[in-house]
Homo-oligomer: A and B are copies of this chain.
Amino acid sequence: MNIKDAAAASGLPAKTIRYYEEIGLIRPARGDNGYRDFSEADAHKLTFLARARGLGFAIEDCRALLALWEDRDRASADVKRLAEAHLDEIDRKIAELTGLRASLSDLVRRCHGDGRPDCPILTDLAGRAETV
């Protein structure tokens, strides 16, 4: 199938599929006219990649997961290790954002937000003393 059909089958934009080929995640065949010719297996790989990316795995993690997927003798522990590392990363990001949210939300709460110029948000950003 052509790239547009592979895109429709996987849910990935054609541009992204070309990019995945460029970085070696997939290797579709080529027709005499130079067009990429995707097999069903290629389409499945693309769907796999789309799901893994959708779960937030980085490209290099996806490459590793794809290799594990294609290895009939893999140990599920290897997969689990990757997933757990990613889970930790997600937890780290959530914690960071939650901290930011708390600080910012406190500032927003304290700002009356009317036509007057005095604003605790700016005061805080300036260092809790400046007025410039």
Contacts and interface: CB of A to CB of B under 8 A. Distances in A.
Interface in A89-116: 90-91, 93-94, 97-98, 100-101, 103-105, 107-108, 111-116
A111 B69 contact: no
A48 to B, nearest CB: 5
A79 to B, nearest CB: 5
A83 interface: yes
A34 interface: no
Nearest to A107: B83
B69 A104 contact: no
B79 A90 contact: no
Interface of A: 41, 44, 47-48, 51-52, 55-56, 65, 68-77, 79-81, 83-84, 86-87, 90-91, 93-94, 97-98, 100-101, 103-105, 107-108, 111-119, 121-122, 124-127, 130, 132
16 contacts: A41-B132, A47-B126, A47-B127, A51-B124, A52-B125, A65-B125, A69-B122, A76-B119, A79-B121, A80-B121, A83-B104, A83-B107, A84-B108, A87-B108, A91-B101, A94-B98
Given A51-B126, A83-B104, 8 more contacts: A41-B132, A51-B127, A70-B132, A74-B117, A76-B121, A77-B114, A83-B111, A94-B101
